[in-house]
Amino acid sequence: MISNLDPSAQQFLNDLNRISAAMNTAQQQMSSGLKVSSVSDAPDQISTLLQARAGLSSTQQVLSNLSRQTAEVNTGEQSLESAVQLFEQVRTLGAEGATPTITADQRATLSGQIGAIMQQLVGLAGTTVEGRYIFSGDSDQQTPYTIDLTQANPVSGYLGSAATRVAQHPNGTTFPLALTAQQVFDSADPTTNVFASMNTLRTALANNDSTGILNAMDGMPKVDSYLNDQLAFYGTTQNRITDATSYGQNLQTELQSQISNLQDADLTNAILELTQAQTQQQAALTARAQLPRTTLFNFLG
C-alpha cells in the first residue's frame, strides 16, 4: 500500500505507535503482574516456562501424596510398636507360666490372657487409615485376618493380597510403602511366625505342658527380633518420606522461583517504562503541534 503521508509525518506516526505499544505493554504488566501472558510475549522462553509449570504441578502432586502416605506409615509404625509391646507381654506371661510351682488353673488363666492378646494383634493387623486396611496389601477393603479362639488354629489364613503400592520420590524414583499383615505376623518361616509362636505357648499353657511351655519360650527371642525388624521397616520408610518431602519442598521453591523469573513482571520497571512512554508521547505530540504548517496560500503569495 502506498502512503499519502510525507516521510516526516510517517515517521511521527511510527514513533507514536511504538510509544503507544510500550505504554500498553507496561499497563498490561502492571494490571496482570505478568510479563509473559501469551506465547508472543516471549516465544524463546515459553517452552522453558511450560516445562517449569509442568514440573511444579507434578512436584505438588507428589508432595500431596507423600503427606497422605505419611499418615499411613505413621499409623503403621504405631500399630507395630503396639504389637511389639503385646508380644513382650506374651513373653512375660510365658515366663510366669514356666515357673515350676505354678498350678494348672493358673496356667489356664495365662493361656486365656494370651488368647486375648492374640485378639488384640488381629485387631492391629486390621488397622485402617481413611477406610483402607493398611496391612491387607492391595486388597485394602478386606480385613486381613479373623480369629476364633475355639479353634486349634484360631487365626484364619491371610485374606489380603500382596502389597505393590509404592511412594514416589520427587526425583522420579519409588520405594515400598507398606508391609502386609502376613509378612508381619504370619511369616512363612515357622520360627518367625508371630501368630504360631503365641498359639503354641497358649496351647501348652492350656494343657499344663511344662515341656511345651519351655520349648515355646525358647523360640520366642527369634520371633521377637523378627517382629522388631518389621517395625524397623516402617521407621526406615518414615525417614525416606521425610527426605523425599524435604527434597520436594526445595524443588518446589526452585521451580516457583524459576517460573517467577520467567513470567512475573518487574512492577517497578513497568511503572518506570509507562512514565517514560507517557513523557515521550506528550513530548512528541507537543513537538508535532509546534511544527510550521505550509498551505497553498504560502505558494500563491
Mean pLDDT, rounded, for 68-89 = 97
Burial of 276 (0-12, 13-18, 19+ CB in 10 A): middle
Q: How confident is the model at residue 268 (pLDDT cuts 50, 70, 90)?
A: low
State residue 278's pLDDT score: 57
Prediction pTM value: 0.73
Using the predicted structure, report yes or no on whether residue 26 has a pLDDT greater than 50: no
Judged by phi (left if over 0) then psi (alpha if -120 to 50, else beta), residue 151 lies in beta
State residue 144's pLDDT score: 98
Using the predicted structure, report yes or no on whether residue 137 has a pLDDT greater than 80: yes
> In terms of pLDDT, which residue wins out, 101 or 261?
101
> Nearest-CA neighbor of 268 among 29, 36, 45?
29
State residue 50's pLDDT score: 80
Domain boundaries, the chain: 68-259
State residue 280's pLDDT score: 59
> Nearest-CA neighbor of 231 among 90, 68, 78?
78
Q: How confident is the model at residue 62 (pLDDT cuts 50, 70, 90)?
A: very high
State residue 46's pLDDT score: 73
In the chain, alpha helices (H): 7-32, 46-97, 104-125, 181-185, 194-206, 210-263, 267-289, 296-300
Q: Among the listed ranges 39-48, 95-104, 132-141, which one has the minimum average pLDDT value?
A: 39-48
Q: How confident is the model at residue 117 (pLDDT cuts 50, 70, 90)?
A: very high
Burial of 152 (0-12, 13-18, 19+ CB in 10 A): exposed
Whose cell is 505393590? That residue is: 164
Q: How confident is the model at residue 262 (pLDDT cuts 50, 70, 90)?
A: confident
Whose cell is 521425610? That residue is: 242
State residue 40's pLDDT score: 47
State residue 89's pLDDT score: 98
> Nearest-CA neighbor of 240 among 69, 125, 78, 83?
69
State residue 48's pLDDT score: 84
State residue 28's pLDDT score: 58
Amino acid at position 276, single letter: Q
Mean pLDDT, rounded, for 47-73 = 92
Using the predicted structure, report yes or no on whether residue 105 has a pLDDT greater than 80: yes
State residue 70's pLDDT score: 96
> Nearest-CA neighbor of 189 among 201, 181, 198, 197?
197
Q: Among the listed ranges 12-16, 42-46, 113-117, 210-214, which one has the minimum average pLDDT value?
A: 12-16
Mean pLDDT, rounded, for 133-144 = 97
Q: How confident is the model at residue 30 (pLDDT cuts 50, 70, 90)?
A: very low
Distances (CA, A) of 115 to 1, 42, 106, 184, 236: 99, 72, 14, 18, 31
Mean pLDDT, rounded, for 157-186 = 96
- Judge: domain 68-259, CATH 1.10.150.120: no
State residue 266's pLDDT score: 46
Judged by phi (left if over 0) then psi (alpha if -120 to 50, else beta), residue 54 lies in alpha
Using the predicted structure, report yes or no on whether residue 284 has a pLDDT greater than 80: no
Using the predicted structure, report yes or no on whether residue 154 has a pLDDT greater than 50: yes
